[in-house]
A and B are shown apart, each in its own frame.
Chain A
Amino acid sequence: MSSRIRTDLIEINMGPQHPSTHGVLRLGVTLDGEVVVECQPDVGYLHRGIEKLAEMRTWIQFIPITDRLDYLASMLGNAAYVGAIEKLGQIEVPERAEYIRIIMMELQRVASHLVFFGTMALDLGATTPFLYSFREREDVLDLFEMVCGARLTYNYFRPGGVSRDLPAGFYAEAKAYIKKQREKLPEYDDLFTNNQIFIARTRNVGIISAEDAVNYSLSGPSLRGSGVSYDVRTADPYSIYDKFDWQVITYPVGDVMSRFMVRTMEIRQSLNIVEQALDAIPEGELKCKTPPRFKVPAGEVYHHIESARGDLGVYLVSDGGEKPYRMKWRAPSFINLGALNSMVKGWKVADVVAILGSLDVVLGEVDR
């Protein structure tokens, strides 16, 4: 019998309509049998040209568009944008507003990581964990709805503060949510994280070394899952994160499991931050005074924050007018996706879904 079997490479399309792509993404995958030889992501299906749109809108009019980039973490899009304006305009934010922002940003991170947990399980064929994590995410969305009336696109942050105060009863509801979420997390682990099938599908799969992860400009949990302790909240502190007791989570292996574990452990850290902020929040102003015809002084600034997906940067150029001269978004999902080809080469086609899922990309942010 011949030891060599002649095989042709075949090209298949994964997407653009495919549940595991988490949006409209096409992967052009070249296969040798079941093994991936090449994987070229094709993006841009959701491109709305928001950087051009920004040049035609006033500074304030653009805030709702920041909700529509990373639509699973809109609060963090708000935060990156108004943070850049405040840096360039040297606008002071009242202390109460900073606390409210921290509570919103970290609840948002929890909500986003819960979506990741559920969709990661779904990608690997487990449907029930999705129902668990979306049940708890619903409570976070209820909290957001109390605060700003919206469940996904909040338009809540303003240069110099936030648009409205926490409503009566928020404190108690938020505390109850934190308690409930902490009780549920071990259930998630029993159901899914410690599941033998899950472990077999993710441990030592799709490994990217720390050196490669840095060279590919990975960021967020995808970078920390390779053992690199880089988190913008501590590396380039913004807002008032230095007032709280919390840890940057890293896992050393760089496989799908490590990236998964970073996010599930970050949920716990974010809950700790929210709890401390709720207890320490002072009374006071919600927003500093800004003129009705809001302008930003001429100049430029690069501001970045740690979003749920990584290093979310905003580059602003102002000519002193009512509209931005140039605005650029450094979208972590877009840059993380750039490493996908190198991560899936040599793995089986079924692993592509696991590895892509572990990068947790949001196509609204990739395509902008």
Chain B
Amino acid sequence: MTEKAIRDSFPDAVVETTDVFGIPNIKITPASLLAVCEMLHANPEMAFDYLADITAIDWQDRIEVVYQLTNLAKNVKVALRVDLDRETPELDSVTSVWKGANYQEREVFDLMGVVFKGHPDLRRILLPEDWEGYPLRKDYVIPD
């Protein structure tokens, strides 16, 4: 149902949908992310008001960012997935939709090096400001 709503509004956005233990995981194009999130939040039929989690996975040929969304009133869940180029991982920030994205995007930036465009305060959060590299990348060399 969520996938259909996205397809109706953004015919070219959906890449594929998989089922991960009962939660539809919808892969969409990076360019459509912010518009899809705005629709999923604002559309009264969808009303995904709760951003549970943002994480990123380094698949070595790409970086994948995963958003876990929940509609609290209806208790419906969905995950959005976006594939990014590993050399220049850039994505629109969703802080304008969910304020809770602020810290979570900073964490993904800090540890995985994904740049969130339009983030109000994109700084490292867990590591020191002068830290070099992104530790959760698979090719990160652990300093002695």
Tell me the A residues contacting B by CB distance below 8 Å.
43-44, 47, 49, 51-52, 87, 212, 214-218, 228, 230, 235-236, 299-302, 304, 311, 313, 315, 317, 325-326, 328, 330, 334-335, 337-339, 342, 367-368
Contacts and interface: CB of A to CB of B under 8 A. Distances in A.
Given A43-B126, A302-B68, A338 B135 contact: no
Contact of B100 (A236, A299, A335, A367): A335
Contacts of B98: 215-217
24 contacts: A44-B125, A49-B135, A51-B111, A52-B142, A212-B99, A215-B99, A215-B100, A217-B100, A217-B101, A302-B20, A302-B21, A302-B53, A302-B66, A302-B68, A304-B52, A315-B55, A315-B66, A317-B57, A326-B57, A326-B136, A330-B52, A334-B103, A335-B103, A338-B100
Interface in B6-58: 20-21, 23, 49-53, 55, 57-58
A5 B97 CA distance: 39
A313 B127 contact: no
Nearest to A87: B21
A301 B72 CA distance: 20
A228 B70 CA distance: 14
Interface residues of B, number: 35
B70 to A, nearest CB: 8
Nearest to A299: B20
Given A87-B21, A313-B68, 10 more contacts: A44-B128, A47-B126, A52-B136, A214-B50, A216-B98, A217-B51, A302-B53, A335-B100, A338-B103, A338-B104
Contacts of A368: 126
A315 B64 CA distance: 13
A330 B127 contact: no
B27 to A, nearest CB: 13
B127 to A, nearest CB: 6
B82 interface: no
Interface of B: 20-21, 23, 49-53, 55, 57-58, 66, 68, 72, 75, 77, 79, 98-104, 107, 111, 124-128, 135-136, 140, 142
Interface hub of B20, B49, B100 (most chain A Cβ within 10 A): B100
A317 B142 CA distance: 21
Nearest to A47: B126
A300 B57 CA distance: 11
Contacts of B72: 214, 228, 230, 235
Contact of A313 (B49, B52, B111, B126): B52
Nearest to A211: B49
B137 to A, nearest CB: 10
A226 to B, nearest CB: 12
What is the predominant secondary structure among interface residues of chain A facing chain B? mixed
Contacts of A43: 125-126
Contacts of A326: 57-58, 136
B4 to A, nearest CB: 22
A304 B50 CA distance: 14
Contacts of A52: 135-136, 140, 142
Contacts of B20: 299-302
A215 B75 contact: no
Contacts of A304: 52
Contacts of A367: 126
A228 B73 CA distance: 9
B100 A315 contact: no
A368 B135 CA distance: 13
Contacts of A328: 53, 55
Contacts of B126: 43-44, 47, 367-368
A330 B21 CA distance: 18
B103 A337 contact: yes
Nearest to A218: B100
Interface hub of A51, A315, A326, A337 (most chain B Cβ within 10 A): A326
A300 B72 CA distance: 23
A275 to B, nearest CB: 28
B86 to A, nearest CB: 15
A315 B53 contact: yes
B125 A215 contact: no
A217 B135 contact: no
B47 to A, nearest CB: 11
Contacts of A236: 75, 77
Nearest to B121: A40
Contact of B53 (A230, A301, A325, A330): A330
B109 to A, nearest CB: 13
A338 B101 CA distance: 9
